[in-house]
């Protein structure tokens, strides 16, 4: 090949490369995962010192009074936030006084019982929302629960662990009604809607995200439990719930474990449920726990020991752009592990590793 032929060939090759984009185009940079490890542990200083060492930099505090008192003042809430921040952490969320324990406590607001103090209780919670927003805390979680979180006897798990278990065939179905009496699906929806119509406008005004936890566990909708039909114990109920008000400040404390408990085959079905609520911006917080089993019969297990592929789940949260906390929840019981501290530490590390993994993926 003479010089003229060489230059002609080189020029043609360069032109072809520029037109086709090259034989080996550069790979796209990984898109950053927005979620972070979170916890709803105590906000005690000793606890914060420990969990911050695990890379847990975002928390939900639950140590607030059940009534509108000094602890709910802007000053007290601001001091709480500043104390959390002194550990290099962020106070992302606190809890309205509607807990997972249902109505067992006498000072529980009468939202789901429609008692005589319902309007005052809701007015007080609206003021809690205002004060929390003024204190610089961006979100609140709550439950619309009456009967708590029923479980049957623990069962043997991996190694020495014991797993929290629910087996509908073994549940005591002869327990009396709660103090709320018989609560039909229609009654539940009326009470839920009444509450949302009052609090969501306040949340919108103060830009406060309100995250509701599903009913845990699911029960047959024609039977319920202790006279109560648990309308937030199925995916259709959660879809109806978020549609009551389309505000971007009205959404879910998306307990993945509880959602899996609603499904016949959670290992296949839960990913599309995450996509449904995630693409609509309705997931404000995630309780990231795994189960074995499904509807009416399950065990609560370690994150790597259940029927749901947690790597795939984390990829779906990244896919939908979820940017909130990923919290461990309901960890297995291990002999000598007081308060589940070791089990939680294991879960924190696992979640942190998953976030790092999906962060590397384009």
Question: What is the CATH classification number for the domain harbouring 64?
Answer: 3.20.20.150
Residue 126 belongs to some domain of the structure: yes
Structure tokens belonging to residue 209? 């995200």
pTM: 0.90
What's the pLDDT at 246?
86
What's the pLDDT at 26?
57
Given a contact cutoff of 8 angstroms between Cβ atoms, the answer to whether 72 and 123 are in contact is no
Residue 93 belongs to some domain of the structure: yes
Residue 80 belongs to some domain of the structure: yes
Residue 26 belongs to some domain of the structure: no
β-pair type (290-294, 297-301):
antiparallel
Domain of 194, in residue numbers: 37-359
Q: Residue 159 — left, alpha, or beta (φ > 0 → left; ψ -120 to 50 → alpha)?
A: left
Residue 2 belongs to some domain of the structure: no
* Series of mean pLDDT values for 10-residue runs along the chain (362 residues): 46 43 57 92 90 95 91 97 96 94 84 94 97 98 95 97 98 93 96 97 98 97 95 98 95 98 98 98 98 98 97 98 96 95 96 96 84
Residue 11 belongs to some domain of the structure: no
List own/partner pairs for 238-246 with CB under 8 A and 24 or more apart.
238/214, 238/277, 239/276, 240/189, 241/192, 241/212, 242/277, 242/280, 242/282, 244/192, 244/193, 244/196, 245/196, 245/197, 245/200
Residue 13 belongs to some domain of the structure: no
What's the pLDDT at 31?
81
* Cβ burial 73-94 (10 Å sphere, 16+ → b, else e): eeebbbebbeebeebebbbbbb
Residue 19 belongs to some domain of the structure: no
State the Cα–Cα distance between residues 110 and 108, nearest whole angstrom.
Answer: 6
Q: In the chain, how many domains are there? A: 1
């Amino acid at each position: 090949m003479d010089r003229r032929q060489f230059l002609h060939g080189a020029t043609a090759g360069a032109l072809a490369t520029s037109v086709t984009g090259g034989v080996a185009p550069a790979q796209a940079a990984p898109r950053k995962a927005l979620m972070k490890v979170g916890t709803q542990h105590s906000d005690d200083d000793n606890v914060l010192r420990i969990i911050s060492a695990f890379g847990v930099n975002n928390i939900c505090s639950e140590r607030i009074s059940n009534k509108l008192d000094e602890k709910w003042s802007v000053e007290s809430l601001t001091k709480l936030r500043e104390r959390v921040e002194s550990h290099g952490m962020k106070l992302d969320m606190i809890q309205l006084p509607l807990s997972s324990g249902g109505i067992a406590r006498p000072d529980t607001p009468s939202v789901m019982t429609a008692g005589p103090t319902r309007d005052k209780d809701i007015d007080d919670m609206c003021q809690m929302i205002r004060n929390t927003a003024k204190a610089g805390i961006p979100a609140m979680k709550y439950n619309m629960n009456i009967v708590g979180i029923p479980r049957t006897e623990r069962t043997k798990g991996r190694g020495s662990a014991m797993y929290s278990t629910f087996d509908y065939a073994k549940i005591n179905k002869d327990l009396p009604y709660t103090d709320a009496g018989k609560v039909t699906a229609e009654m539940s929806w009326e009470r839920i809607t009444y509450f949302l119509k009052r609090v969501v406008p306040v949340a919108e005004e103060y830009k406060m995200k309100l995250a509701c936890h599903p009913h845990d566990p699911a029960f047959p909708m024609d039977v319920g439990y202790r006279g109560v039909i648990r309308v937030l114990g199925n995916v259709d109920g959660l879809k109806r719930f978020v549609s009551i008000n389309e505000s971007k400040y009205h959404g879910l404390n998306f307990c993945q474990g509880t959602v899996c408990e609603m499904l016949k085959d959670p290992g296949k079905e839960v990913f599309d449920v995450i996509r449904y609520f995630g693409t609509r911006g309705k997931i404000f917080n995630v309780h990231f726990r795994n189960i074995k089993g499904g509807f009416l019969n399950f065990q609560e297990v370690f994150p790597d020991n259940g029927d749901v592929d947690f790597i795939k789940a984390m990829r779906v949260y990244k896919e939908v752009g979820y940017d909130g906390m990923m919290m461990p929840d309901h960890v297995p019981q291990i002999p000598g592990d007081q308060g589940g501290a070791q089990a939680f530490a294991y879960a924190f590390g696992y979640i942190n590793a998953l976030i790092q993994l999906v962060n590397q993926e384009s």
